[in-house]
Amino acid sequence: MPARVVLAMSGGVDSSVAALLLKEQGYDVVGLFMRTGVHEDVPSPPTPLPEGARGAGTPLPQVTRDDRKKGCCSALDAGDARRVADRLDIPFYALDFEGDFSRIMDYFADEYLAGRTPNPCVVCNNWLKFGKLWDYGRQLDADFIATGHYVRAVDQSGERQLLRAVDPAKDQSYVLFGLRRELLPRLLFPLGAYHKDEVRALARHANLGVAAKPDSVEICFVPNNDHADFIRKHRPNLATAGVFRDRAGNVLAEHEGYEKYTIGQRKGLGFGSTGRRYVLEIVPETRDVILGDRDDLLSAALTATRVNWLIDPPARPLPCRAKIRYRHEPAAAAATVLTNGDVRVDFETPQSAITPGQAVVFYAGERILGGGWIESTVDAPPVR
């Protein structure tokens, strides 16, 4: 019997080609689609688990139908994923994760209102794609779980390691730092050794209808890319208007809501100013947004909480390269585990716009060592 792998299928070209490659490699592939966006609850017939699976006869949660709405994980995307599955002759199950996904939307709004900048893609991977989805995979007696992420999972030195993708422009290792270490032997990432143009070429050669489908670049529950509008609608009764201040405390102007801003932002401040001003800090208690010069954004150290290690936690300062946002080039640093399990990261060169709420991810060469959530910058020198 071939090994069974459950594959998260989004209806895009990446997960579709992942299905193609896994099928060609001889796996018993089962496609699972997660619908997570807002949609109407229109009943659809239940789909039972395959015969012989644990819990067979128990319906899997079903996607509801509303073909008029389009967005990431919409009914239209489900249709694209199903057509690819039909063409490749693999089983396909559509799961409704809207109830679980509401936690991610709450997290997104609450982080902004706490003066932090969230990363919902990381949380979605941790909670849903490699959490809830794997729970369904085990009901299907799956041996592995796979996605269309651009990252590599390889066996080296007697252990499963997570490595950056071959294509640096598409590498998604940053958003996968939170994977449970014990899950690594169960992970397959078929696209990690490919460049994006090669993936589209494979889709065209296989005559998959999604070969030219554009990549999704927006947060799936903020399709207009206006996160402040989403927050106002999600938390309508909160007053967030306040003032801009400089570092000396002088009032510069009023603002309509601090949730509109993030550390390092320069454009869209909403008032004229002599010289360039950048957001340095957001103070939710007073609703102040602190502005300053570009050099004021530089910090040499940070602390991170809720750290997840994909190696044994280091007992002494760990030389590494640390990445502080998705488009940031990892910088030389040392990561030190504190007595409470948090991590202090000291950079060889000060970094700009270190942002609470974003992730810091640690690398050794191509290998992902782990990461955590940025809590704050640090001014004090490191403890030796």
Inter-residue contact 232 to 109 (CB < 8 Å)? no
Q: Is 222 exposed, middle or buried (CB count within 10 Å of its CB: 0-12, 13-18, 19+)?
A: middle
How many Å apart are CA 109 and CA 284, to the nearest integer?
Answer: 13
How many Å apart are CA 377 and CA 324, to the nearest integer?
Answer: 12
Token pair for residue 177? 């730092």
Q: How many C-beta neighbours within 10 Å does residue 375 have? A: 17
Backbone angles phi, psi at 105, to 5 degrees: -65, -40
How many Å apart are CA 97 and CA 8, to the nearest integer?
Answer: 13
Inter-residue contact 7 to 30 (CB < 8 Å)? yes
Inter-residue contact 320 to 335 (CB < 8 Å)? yes
How many Å apart are CA 146 and CA 153, to the nearest integer?
Answer: 10
Angle among Cα 91, 97, 98 to the nearest 5 degrees reads 140
Tokens 């997960």 belong to which residue?
15
Strand locations in 144-297 (E): 144-146, 151-156, 159-164, 187-188, 242-245, 251-255, 278-283, 288-292
Active site annotation includes 124: yes
Active-site pick, 72, 73, 220, 320: 220
Inter-residue contact 98 to 154 (CB < 8 Å)? no
Inter-residue contact 168 to 152 (CB < 8 Å)? no
Tokens 């032997």 belong to which residue?
185
Active-site pick, 72, 73, 121, 124: 124
Active-site residue list? 124, 220
